[in-house]
Amino acid sequence: MRIGHGYDVHAFCEGDSIRLCGVTIAHNRGFKAHSDGDVALHALCDALLGAAALGDIGRHFPDTDAKYQNIDSRLLLREVKQLLHNDGLVCNNADITIVAQAPKLAPHTGAMCEAIASDLSIAVNRVNVKATTSEWLGFTGREEGIAAHAVVTLV
Ligand code: MG
C-alpha cells in the first residue's frame, strides 16, 4: 500500500466558467493557467505521482510545452493512470478537498467523482470530493483563487 498527497492552487482571471475535477462550472471568473486550470485534478495527479514515486505533474507535463496549452486535465489524469499501470500500480482510493469561497460546489461533487472514477478506471465509491470555504480568510477567502488537496492510496 502506498499513500500520496498533492496540493495545487490556481488564481482567478477574467472568465465565465471554471473546470474542477473535469466538470465545467459557471462562475463570474475563469482560471489563469497554461492548461484548463483544473486545480483539483492537478492536486490529484500530484498525489498519484507522489505515491508512485514518479515525481510531479510539472516534470511530466511542463507548462513551457505548447502541447499542454489549454489541455483538458482529464487527459493528464489518464496519462498518469497509465504511468502507474506501467509500474503495476492501481489507485485504491482518492479523497479530494477543494477550498473555495465561491461558487457553491456541493451540487457538482457527484459528477466530479464519476469523472475521476471513469478516468482512473475504478469504482465511483473509491472516490470522494468535498468542498470547503476558508471562512473569508486568506487568498481563497478573498476569492483570488482556489486551492485543492488530494490524498490517494495505491495498490
Ligand atoms: Mg496546476
Q: List C-alpha distances in Å: 13 to 7, 16, 54.
A: 20, 10, 31
CB atoms within 10 A of CB 109: 19
Distance 13 CA to ligand 1 centre (A): 14
* Mean predicted confidence (pLDDT) in 93-108: 97
Q: Which of these ranges, 3-12, 43-52, 65-74, has the smallest mean pLDDT?
A: 65-74
**Which residues face 130 on adjacent strands?**
97
Query: How far does residue 87's CA lie from ligand 1's centre (Å)?
Result: 24
Q: What is the DSSP letter of 35?
A: S
* 113-150 confidence digits (pLDDT tens): 999 999 999 999 999 999 999 999 999 999 999 999 99
Ordered DSSP codes for 30-62: EE--SS---HHHHHHHHHHHHHTT---HHHHS-
Cα–Cα distance, 50 to 144 (Å, whole number) = 27
pLDDT at 6: 98
Cα 99 to averaged position of ligand 1 atoms, centre (Å): 14
Q: Where are any strands of DSSP class E within 1-155?
A: 2-13, 17-20, 23-26, 30-31, 91-99, 127-132, 145-154
Tell me how far apart the 2 most distant CA atoms of the chain are, in Å: 43
pTM above 0.95, yes or no: yes
**92 Cα to the center of ligand 1, angstroms:** 23
So what's the pLDDT on residue 149?
A: 98
Q: What is the mean pLDDT of residues 98-125?
A: 97
| Distance of CA 80 from the midpoint of ligand 1 (Å) | 14
25, 14 Cβ separation under 8 angstroms: no
Q: How far apart are CA 146 and CA 9, in angstroms?
A: 6
